[in-house]
């Protein structure tokens, strides 16, 4: 089927997609502010009018983000499948947009790695994050019972790497026009993402330290926790792709919605490898410094 050709008011055809006015970017920003505010109030145990906010603010913000994702994606799927407005030239802009979004996510994690390495590499010195007496001159601080890297974290690593293989399987199936195998591979990938999240929750519940107990728990939970949130988002993204594949939305020529999800999922895989090596393996077993004399 030939690509749809858009028309301007002059009647001249052009291959570009002129986006209609949408309320969803504004709603997305409001939902993001609501989620961030709820998280801050939860972390600082804020009460409004004698009423403890707790996790209610976080849950409300998360539900708002999910609602925006649902309605916004619904509009974009309608543009792509029904209106066929996403021409090959329009897809170039979509690809650049997704690439820049992933680049911004990379810098997001750079901040967490920076905080972690500043604290761990200079554990025996005074710095802006901690006093050397807190770490007793070594990293990880000896007062913490850290998580062994080659037990549950290693299994989680294998799960994510396997999910990277299955999402590639799905991609090749789509390129070959094999929608049946694409659906199967996407289903396996979504299941693996869900299993990873379950293991991460189990790990957090059984950790021997809390988020507010110092710089080691803070850097650990912030880096791994935000990665877990990205796994959750990627799993939802791929679940939507699975539903679309079942409806036959993806063809050999038109499947950028899936490609964007696959790019994001591979990014999540790579970030986890850095987390595993830097925080779980090096940070929990090798570390730095010499204990202070007593």
Residue percentage of the chain with pLDDT more than 90:
53
Domains defined along the chain, listed by start: 18-84 (1.10.287.70), 87-289 (1.20.120.80)
- Peptide linkage before 140 cis (omega within 30 of 0): yes
Q: What is the pLDDT of residue 272?
A: 96
Q: What is the pLDDT of residue 292?
A: 45
Average pLDDT over residues 53-74: 89
**159-184 per-position pLDDT tens digit:** 999 999 999 999 999 999 999 999 99
Q: What is the pLDDT of residue 125?
A: 62
Average pLDDT over residues 68-74: 90
Task: Please state the pTM of the whole predicted model.
Answer: 0.83
Confidence of residue 2 (pLDDT cuts 50, 70, 90): very low
Average pLDDT over residues 226-250: 93
C-alpha dist (Å) from residue 194 to 102, 236, 238: 22, 10, 11
- Which bin fits 293, alpha (ψ -120 to 50), beta or left (φ > 0)? beta
User: Can you give the chain as a three-state secondary structure string?
Assistant: CCCCCEECCCCCEECCCCCCCCCHHHHHHHHHHHHHHHHHHHHCCCEECCEECCCHHHHHHHHHHHHHHHHHHHHHHHHHHHCCCCCHHHHHHHHHHHHHHHHHHHHHHHHHHHHHHHHHHCCCCCCCCCCHHHHCCEECCCCCCCCCCCCHHHHHHHHHHHHHHHHHHHHHHHHCCCHHHHHHHHHHHHHHHHHHHHHHHHHHHCCCCCCCCCHHHHHHHHHHHHHHHHHHHHHHHHHHHHHHHHCCCCCCCCCHHHHHHHHHHHHHHHHHHHHHHHHHHHHHHHCEECCCCC
Average pLDDT of the chain, as a whole number: 86
Beta strand 47-48 with 288-289 is unpaired
Beta strand 13-14 with 6-7 is antiparallel
User: What is the CA 102 to chain-centroid distance, rounded?
Assistant: 10
Average pLDDT over residues 37-52: 84
**97-153 per-position pLDDT tens digit:** 999 999 999 999 999 999 888 888 876 665 555 555 566 667 888 888 889 999 999
7: pLDDT strictly greater than 70: no
């Amino acid at each position: 089927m030939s690509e749809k050709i858009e028309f301007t008011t002059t009647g001249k055809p052009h291959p570009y997609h002129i986006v209609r006015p949408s309320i969803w970017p504004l709603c997305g920003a409001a939902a993001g502010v609501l989620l961030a505010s709820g998280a801050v109030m939860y972390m600082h145990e804020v009460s409004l009018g004698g009423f403890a906010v707790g996790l209610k603010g976080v849950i409300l913000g998360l539900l708002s983000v999910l609602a925006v994702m649902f309605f916004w994606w619904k509009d974009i799927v309608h543009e792509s499948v029904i209106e066929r407005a996403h021409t090959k030239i329009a897809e170039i802009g979509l690809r650049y947009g997704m690439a820049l979004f992933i680049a911004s996510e990379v810098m997001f994690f750079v901040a967490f790695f920076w905080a972690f390495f500043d604290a761990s590499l200079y554990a025996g010195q005074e710095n802006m994050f901690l006093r050397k007496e807190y770490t007793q001159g070594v990293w990880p601080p000896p007062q913490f019972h850290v998580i062994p890297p080659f037990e549950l974290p290693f299994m989680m690593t294998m799960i994510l790497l396997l999910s990277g293989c299955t999402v590639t399987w799905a991609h090749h199936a789509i390129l070959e026009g094999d929608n049946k195998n694409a659906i199967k591979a996407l289903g396996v990938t979504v299941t693996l993402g869900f299993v990873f999240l379950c293991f991460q929750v189990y790990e957090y519940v059984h950790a021997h330290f809390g988020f507010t107990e110092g710089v080691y728990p803070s850097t650990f939970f912030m880096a791994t926790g935000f990665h877990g949130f990205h796994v959750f988002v990627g799993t939802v993204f791929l679940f939507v792709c699975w539903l679309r594949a079942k409806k036959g939305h993806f063809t050999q020529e038109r499947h950028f919605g899936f490609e964007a999800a696959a790019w994001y999922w591979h990014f999540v895989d790579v970030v986890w490898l850095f987390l595993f090596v830097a925080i779980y393996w090096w940070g929990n077993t090798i570390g730095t410094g010499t204990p202070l004399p007593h």
